[in-house]
Amino acid sequence: MAAQALALLREVSRLEAPLEELRALQSLLQSVPLSELREQAAELRLGPLFSLLNENHREQTTLCVSILERLLQALEPVHVARNLRVDLQRGLTHPNESVKILTLSQVGRIVENPDAVTEILNNAELLKQIVYCIGGENLSVAKTLIVEISSVSPESLNYCTTSGLVTQLLRELTGEDVLVRATCIEMVTSLACTHHGRQYLAQEGVIDQISNIIVGADADPFSSFYLPGFVKFFGNLAIMDSPQQICERYPIFVEKVFEMTESQDPTMIGVAVDTIGILGSNVEGKQVLQKTGTRFERLLMKIGYQAKNATTELKIRCLDALSSLFYLPPEQQTDDLLRMAESWFSSLSRDPLELFRGISNQPFPELHCAALKVFTAIANQPWAQKLMFNSPGFVEYVMDRSVEHDKASKDAKYELVKALANSKTIAEIFGNPNYLRLRTYLSEGPYYVKPISTTAVEGAE
């Protein structure tokens, strides 16, 4: 089939008006597997198809775009960057929207591929051309590409800022259109994932502007459109830089997160809970939260309540945040931090261990796994081991393989057993017989099934 497609492609390149052949090729390509086309990648000559785009013939252009979409998927991004640069440059300035989108999607593939992107970055002219061509577009795909290109290196960010594209994006971020603002903040958050991106945003005063918009959000009836994205931006910023510095410099961020947990809107609660999880994923962030004192304890009580009563999706987000908050690597388990974790845990509900066990018994594998992750997060902390050991039936629950039926749940249980068995304090707290049972479980692996005795019993017929 791929051979037929190649024959038709050769035919197209020989003819001046190959409409019939293009229709046949488009139809044939729908049934040729991509794997077959990839095997023939070296034979695919796409230049003639790109040339046909230059003629002002609507059906021909539509057919060529459809064929190119399929054939380009069979080519590696590096090959596209090296061999089809001129065609891409032309495509970026094409009057037909579908040709531009096709070209931009290929530029996107190149930018996402570390080997292919160097082909663009080593060619200043091409990079400039791409940046300027995209500049004329108000497509969100163009904006996303600008951020991806800017994120590659300080040099590529420089091209994008000189072209005025990043400035335009930042203008829209602080502009009046709340929906545009919401999409822009996602892109700015991606840019902030790189060190040079964060430096640029700080120098341009963008971080201060975002903080000021959060300050004024109470007076804006439409703030629910963009506020979640703005809060996420600070959450990511805090964990990449320093939670303490970000929270001290932008107190409105922490204030807003606490406020959002009080909201009646599940979207707001979800974002607040995710952000608490991100913030509390390292020790410095945990200490920032601890400094808020009884406020944080009240917030934990709310998260405990939501983990029990919210929708399944929000329950899982609460459990994931709690796993992140409670986990302490052995080398960071100072007496103070262990006391803090224990006090946080007891703030969740009257009997947190029983709360999570109840959640893990619900017939939803995702919930079951999320609850097991909370147990795993605290499993290497002595206070939690004592709680588990003294909780009636808990040790049996951990050892019981019949509770988990699917692979994800068996894996999650195995991680819990591993965390317990590898802890230095477990033998002393659980006692040697239980410690040996944990080691046996560990050596048997996550999917072990106990052999059923097949001894025949006389008279059983």
**Model confidence at 134, in pLDDT bands (50, 70, 90)?**
low
CB 357 within 8 A of CB 371: yes
Q: Which residue has the higher pLDDT, 221 or 163?
A: 221
Mean pLDDT of 128-148: 70
Mean pLDDT score of the chain: 90
Q: Please report the pLDDT score of residue 139 as a whole number.
A: 60
- CA pair distance 307, 317, nearest whole angstrom: 8
86-100, 220-234, 339-353: range with lowest mean pLDDT: 86-100
- How many Å apart are CA 269 and CA 257, to the nearest integer? 9
Judged by DSSP in three states, 391 sits in: coil
Phi-psi region of 164 (alpha: psi -120 to 50; beta: other; left: phi over 0): left
pLDDT, position 108: 84
Q: What are phi and psi of 202, to 5 degrees?
A: -70, -45
pLDDT attached to residue 334: 96
- pLDDT per residue as tens digits for the range 297-312: 999 999 999 999 999 9
- Of the pLDDT bands very low, low, confident and very high (cuts 50, 70, 90), residue 423 is very high
Contact 272, 261 (CB under 8 A): yes
Listed in sequence order, the residues at least 6 apart from 354 whose beta carbon sits closer than 8 Å to its beta carbon are 391
> What distance in Å separates the CA atoms of residue 142 and residue 130, rounded to the nearest whole number?
10
CA-only gyration radius of the chain, Å? 29
> To the nearest whole percent, how much of the chain has pLDDT over 70?
95
The residue ranking higher by pLDDT, 1 or 42, is 42
What 3-state class would DSSP assign to 168? helix
Q: Give the model's pLDDT for residue 104.
A: 84
Question: Averaged over 150-168, what is the pLDDT?
Answer: 83
Q: What is the tens place of the pLDDT at every residue in 43-52? A: 888 988 998 8
How far apart are alpha carbons 52 and 425 in whole angstroms? 73
Coil, strand or helix at 325: helix
Tell me: pLDDT of 455 over 80.
no
Indicate the DSSP class of residue 451.
P
Token output for 325: 């908050």
Cβ-in-10-Å burial (0-12, 13-18, 19+) of 99 comes to: buried
Question: What's the confidence (pLDDT) of residue 138?
Answer: 54
Average pLDDT for residues 156-164, to the nearest whole number? 82
**What pLDDT is recorded for position 1?**
74
pLDDT in tens, 359-393: 998 889 999 999 999 999 999 999 999 999 999 99
Please check the confidence at residue 346 and state whether its pLDDT lies above 80.
yes
Helix axes 97-112, 140-152, angle to 10 degrees: 30
For the chain, give percent helix, strand, coil, nearest 5.
75, 0, 25
Would you say the C-alpha torsion 339, 341, 342, 343 has a positive or negative sign?
A: positive
What is the per-residue pLDDT for 135? 61
pLDDT value for 136: 60
Pick from 107, 103, 192: nearest CA to 150: 192
Whether residue 461 is predicted with pLDDT greater than 50 in this model: the reply is: no
Q: How far apart are CA 353 and CA 425, in angstroms?
A: 19
158 pLDDT higher than 90: no
Predicted confidence (pLDDT) at residue 291 exceeds the cutoff of 50: yes
